[in-house]
């Protein structure tokens, strides 16, 4: 790692003004290959505005190449950004860094964010970072999102619940046992907790044809 990062940081900043995604990608690759502390702010700033998926993925990789102590505080600060992409990318990077100290900074504002990508990433990251003693509480915080969005968004939330395992069962059962917009989604997730090999589509189809009155205490066990 170089001790003087100013020249490289200047090159990185200039590269990010290019409209050519390949130039931005190569600059980010170089920054990750030779990580320099002064590059971190430029990398995080680019996360908020980068339009290309592959460059964003490389930005996350480049940030993971730095010591956690240097990146974690800046990424946590980014969670308060008014820019949805900045928040989603910070959450994604925190999931890759996989440091549990980030978990308390994932708030209900993230879990219930109106932007689907922010919410989806918050669910996944929170479920991955939560300790065993935090799983039950997190499941209860996720319950209001049941039934939200299209198939892919519902599937993302189900994956988060599955990461929490049996700790999610009581909260899901409460929703599955009464009529409401999240009822079918809760039952779908309970069925998958019971049989992960069932598949989301099959579980969703079963849930849709299962009367609420037949949801028993054994479902999801």
Q: CA dihedral defined by 101, 106, 107, 112, rounded to 10 degrees?
A: -160
For the CA atoms of 104, 55, 116, 49, the dihedral, rounded to the nearest 10 degrees, stands at 90
- Note the pLDDT tens digit of each residue in 127-183: 999 999 999 999 999 999 999 999 999 999 999 999 999 999 999 999 999 998 899
Cβ atoms of 219 and 194 closer than 8 Å:
yes
Neighbours of 116 (CB within 10 A): 16
Q: Where are the alpha helices (DSSP H) in 34-83?
A: 40-47, 53-64, 68-78
Q: What per-residue confidence (pLDDT) applies to 82?
A: 98
Chain mean pLDDT for the chain: 93
Number of residues assigned to the chain = 221
Closest alpha carbon to 91 in 77, 74, 79, 80: 79
pTM value? 0.90
pLDDT, tens digit (0-9, with 9 covering 90-100), for 176-190: 999 988 999 999 999
């Amino acid at each position: 790692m170089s001790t003087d990062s100013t020249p490289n940081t200047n090159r990185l900043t200039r590269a990010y003004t290019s409209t050519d995604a390949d130039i931005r990608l190569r600059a980010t690759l170089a920054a990750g290959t030779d990580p320099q502390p002064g590059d971190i702010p430029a990398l995080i700033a680019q996360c908020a505005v980068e339009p290309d998926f592959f460059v964003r993925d490389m930005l996350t990789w480049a940030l993971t190449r730095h010591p956690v102590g240097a990146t974690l505080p800046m990424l946590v600060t980014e969670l308060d950004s008014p820019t949805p992409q900045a928040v989603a990318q910070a959450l994604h990077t925190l999931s890759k860094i996989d440091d549990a100290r980030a978990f308390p900074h994932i708030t209900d504002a993230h879990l219930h964010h109106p932007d689907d990508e922010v919410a989806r990433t918050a669910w996944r990251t929170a479920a991955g970072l939560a300790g065993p003693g935090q799983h039950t509480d997190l499941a209860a915080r996720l319950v209001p999102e049941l039934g939200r969005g299209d198939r892919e968004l519902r599937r993302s939330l189900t994956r988060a619940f599955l990461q929490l395992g049996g700790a999610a069962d009581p909260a899901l059962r409460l929703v599955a046992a009464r009529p409401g917009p999240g009822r079918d989604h809760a039952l779908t997730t309970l069925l998958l907790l019971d049989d992960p090999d069932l598949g989301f589509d099959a579980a969703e189809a079963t849930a849709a044809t299962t009367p609420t009155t037949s949801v028993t205490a054994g479902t999801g066990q």
